[in-house]
Amino acid sequence: MRAAQFTGCLPSLTIHSHSQNLGLGEARNTGIRLAKGQYIASVDSDDWVDAGFLEHLVAPVMQASGPPVDLVIAGFRRVNTEGKEFQVYQPTNKPYGSSEDDLRNDDNQIDIFNLTNPAFWNKLWRRDVFLKHDIWFPGNYYYQDLATTPRFLANSNRVIRINSVDYNYLVREGAISKTGSDKHVLDYLRVFRMLYLFLNENDLITRHFEGFRRTVNGSFRFHSENIYQNDWEAKDKEVYINLLLMAKFGMAECLKFLDEKSLQPQMQALKSDFHVLDSVVSELEKLGREKQQVEIALAHARRYPWKYLVGAIKSRLNR
């Protein structure tokens, strides 16, 4: 049913549409800018919610005393195209009111990368946090939730988790997480660059780099496993997974250049000879290890971002 069909029974309903498709991120940004209430909730076009969805999200805000609640996180269920549930996510199994689920962030205690799934739709967001801290969804990107939710959490003072499961997330065969393209790979890099720069510019890199590292690794692992399991031709899978691997380790190597205010160091690196393993090889030569031990250590270390590669190899060899 189109949104316009609700205007007769909901006179307060406002419909706004873009003259051209600007992507999901810009649609959300427009909604945030035009909203008049203090809080925002969202439902994706293919999904549906059970009765009580909004009531359960709003209840903690209405009942809380003290600082305003910036984010309420609820559960959701994954359903297939036949409406059958196959997975349930519940952020807490405790009844509302547990102190463990009323989280404060006055000293960056919250793990902004691992507290919750990054999705926009199973949450209630305080609009003022977006406006005050200039937090917006990137335009026509895949994974725009991943680029935005950690930044919102970093600027939140209070987050509450509830155990209600009222949101039904439809998983189709052609969903973003199940498909692959050049844009999927590039958008991963765009999102991770945005997050890394945000952490660095806000002096949060030390506190959250481990969570950032796990998110990068987990995202590449999740995407590569979905590609590996789909029905592509074997050669197409091989090429795509090769590109993912190159993107992952190339990104990890270039992080050290993102702090530069000038493009000159980056241009110099692009023009220089290709020495992918030079620093690793030099460290291994110092250790004087046998070839077989080195190969085992390298295999183990490939799980790590480049920044930790040498340390991972040394750790393995010193066992």
Task: Annotate 83-151 with DSSP letters as a single string.
Answer: --EEEEE-S-SSPTT-GGGEEE-TTS-S-TTTSS---STTEEEEHHHHHHTT----TT-TTHHHHHHHH
Specify the pLDDT at position 178.
Answer: 62
pLDDT confidence tier of residue 305, bands split at 50, 70 and 90: very low
Give the residue, 23 or 311, on which the prediction is more confident. Answer: 23
DSSP 6: G
**Closest by Cα among 135, 266, 246 to 186:** 246
- Both tokens of 51, joined, read 């009765």
Asked which of 5-14, 108-117, 176-185, 212-221 is least confident by mean pLDDT, the reply is: 5-14
Specify the pLDDT at position 270.
Answer: 66
Tell the residue number behind the tokens 């393995």, with chain if given: 316
Given a cut of 60, whether residue 316 has pLDDT beyond it is no
DSSP 178: G
Q: Return d(Cα 11, Cα 101) in angstroms, integer.
A: 37
Given a cut of 60, whether residue 285 has pLDDT beyond it is no
Specify the pLDDT at position 307.
Answer: 45
- Both tokens of 160, joined, read 């509450």
Q: For the domain bounded by 3-172, which CATH number is listed? A: 3.90.550.10
Q: Return d(Cα 35, Cα 280) in angstroms, integer.
A: 53
CB-CB neighbours of 15 under 10 Å: 9
Contact at 8 Å (CB) between 135 and 152? yes
pLDDT confidence tier of residue 95, bands split at 50, 70 and 90: confident
Contact at 8 Å (CB) between 57 and 41? yes
Q: What is the mean pLDDT of residues 29-55?
A: 94
Tell the residue number behind the tokens 């270390």, with chain if given: 301
Given a cut of 70, whether residue 65 has pLDDT beyond it is yes
**Closest by Cα among 243, 259, 244, 242 to 307:** 259
Residues of the chain with CATH 3.90.550.10: 3-172
Specify the pLDDT at position 183.
Answer: 92
| Span 191-212, pLDDT tens digits | 999 999 999 999 999 899 999 9
CB-based contacts of 114: which residues, under 8 Å, 6+ apart? 211, 214, 215
Q: What is the mean pLDDT of residues 73-84?
A: 94
Specify the pLDDT at position 276.
Answer: 46
Specify the pLDDT at position 287.
Answer: 53
Provide the strand spans (E) within the chain. 39-40, 48-49, 71-79, 85-89, 102-104, 123-126, 158-170
CB-based contacts of 190: which residues, under 8 Å, 6+ apart? 138, 141, 147
Give residue 313's identity as a one-letter amino acid code. I
| Distance between start and end Cα atoms, the chain | 63
**Closest by Cα among 257, 229, 223 to 243:** 223
Q: Return d(Cα 50, Cα 75) in angstroms, integer.
A: 12
Q: Average pLDDT of the chain?
A: 83
CB-CB neighbours of 111 under 10 Å: 16
Q: Is 164 buried (19+), middle (13-18) or exposed (0-12) by CB count in 10 A? A: buried
Q: What is the mean pLDDT of residues 167-187?
A: 81
Instruction: Provide the sign of the torsion angle of the four alpha carbons 6, 7, 10, 16, taken in this order.
Output: positive
Specify the pLDDT at position 304.
Answer: 47
Give the residue, 46 or 283, on which the prediction is more confident. Answer: 46
